Amino acid sequence: MTATLESPPAAPEADRRSARSLMDLVFRARELSIGGALVVLILGTWISNPSFLDDQGIKDLLLNSSILVLLAVGQSVVVITRNIDLSVGSVVGLTAFACGSFVSGTDHSALTVVLLGIGLGVLCGLVSGLLVSFGRVPALVVTLGMLYVIQGIDHAWAHGEQINAADVPDDVLGLGSGSVIGVPYLPLISTAVLVGTAYYLRTYRSGRELYAIGSNPEAARLAGIPIRRRVLAAYAFSGAVAGLAGALWLARFGTVVADAANGWELTVVSSVVVGGIAITGGVGTVWGAALGALLLTTMGSALVVLKVDSFWQQAITGVLLLAAITTDRIVNLRTTSALRKRSRR
């Protein structure tokens, strides 16, 4: 007579997929709610002031949100891996001033400026990425340190001077003011980066591995995912996007000082988290981050049109950020609880 020993059943893969689908559904619902809030905000402001949605008003909205959307896309890739990049604002300031200094009084093309900005951004991103991935220094410490280091370099370089629009080549300024069929170049560039990044994260294996790293780093390591290289690549991409944003900042405004985009890092992180990307990593899409950036930018423009104190923009942003983080925590706890119950069954 033989006895058969049965091991306790493991949590079915179908249950895990169901929990993940439920979690994704919650965050996609948040994206839809942000889109709805954005529509309500725009319509409400338009009713109060019809000039808000005239040709110039729409153009201003697109231009004002373009750079923040770009930065939110780059930050999203880093946050998905359960990390953060607080240096993006200072990278924008450095690359904008560096590009302005390089082309000041010359006839360099806009393409040259864009490539220079991306190159400098990649360099900054690689430094942060190496310290985080291979040096294993906490991302918050590394990128906060990089923020101050880059700001110090920028101020030491500028010596209180500024780049004037009169010294910037027309081809570069045309990138910030030109348009195609009435649509400015800047939002077209931001949209192209957004679509390309979303496609990569959804389609390519290396893109999906970023989500795996953020969801469970230890499981990703056991699965053979090159975590260090993926995190390094995420920071390099974030730096490249920030460098591109710096070049576009120069093209958009022409006049650049050493502290350009100072403080934007918190706005970028807020956009990402409000847009549905979990601060704990592994969940969310760049589409949601872009919507979050659009919401915060539009809210600022609407408050100006409605003649409301700018303090309320910061207060509302803080409330949205706290609400988003609280939602992330509640969803994570409930999903974990559901998995445990199904595992026991």
Residue with tokens 């700001």: 151
Instruction: Give the total residue count for the chain.
Output: 345
Distance, CA of 60 to chain centre: 20
Binned average pLDDT, 10 residues per bin, the chain of 345 residues: 45 50 58 80 85 82 91 96 94 93 87 94 96 93 94 85 87 89 91 96 93 92 93 96 95 86 87 86 89 88 77 74 71 64 64
Strands 183-184 and 179-180, bridge-based pairing: antiparallel
Look up residue 310 and give its two tokens.
């700018």
- 52 close to 250: Cβ distance less than 8 angstroms: no
- 169 close to 106: Cβ distance less than 8 angstroms: yes
30-327 CATH = 1.10.3470
Its sign, for the CA torsion 158, 161, 163, 167, is negative
User: pTM for the whole thing?
Assistant: 0.85
Which residue, 245, 320, 247, 324, is CA-closest to 73? 245
Calpha distance 155→148 (Å, rounded): 10
Close Cβ partners of 256 (under 8 Å, ≥ 6 residues apart): 96, 97, 100, 162, 163, 249, 250
Residue 11 is predicted with a pLDDT of 46
Q: How many CB atoms lie within 10 A of CB 202?
A: 12
Helix (H, G, I), strand (E, B) or coil at 238: helix
Residue 28 is predicted with a pLDDT of 63
- Dihedral class, residue 202 (left if φ above 0, else alpha if ψ from -120 to 50, else beta): alpha
Residue 29 is predicted with a pLDDT of 65
Calpha distance 273→321 (Å, rounded): 7
Calpha distance 216→303 (Å, rounded): 41
Task: Give the angle 210-215-219 at the CA atoms, nearest 5°.
Answer: 90
Residue 249 is predicted with a pLDDT of 94
Per-residue DSSP letters for 171-237?
Answer: HHHHHHH-EETTEEHHHHHHHHHHHHHHHHHHHSHHHHHHHHHHH-HHHHHHTT--HHHHHHHHHHH
* Domain definitions of the chain by residue range: 30-327
Residue 4 is predicted with a pLDDT of 45
Helix (H, G, I), strand (E, B) or coil at 161: coil
- 107 close to 320: Cβ distance less than 8 angstroms: no
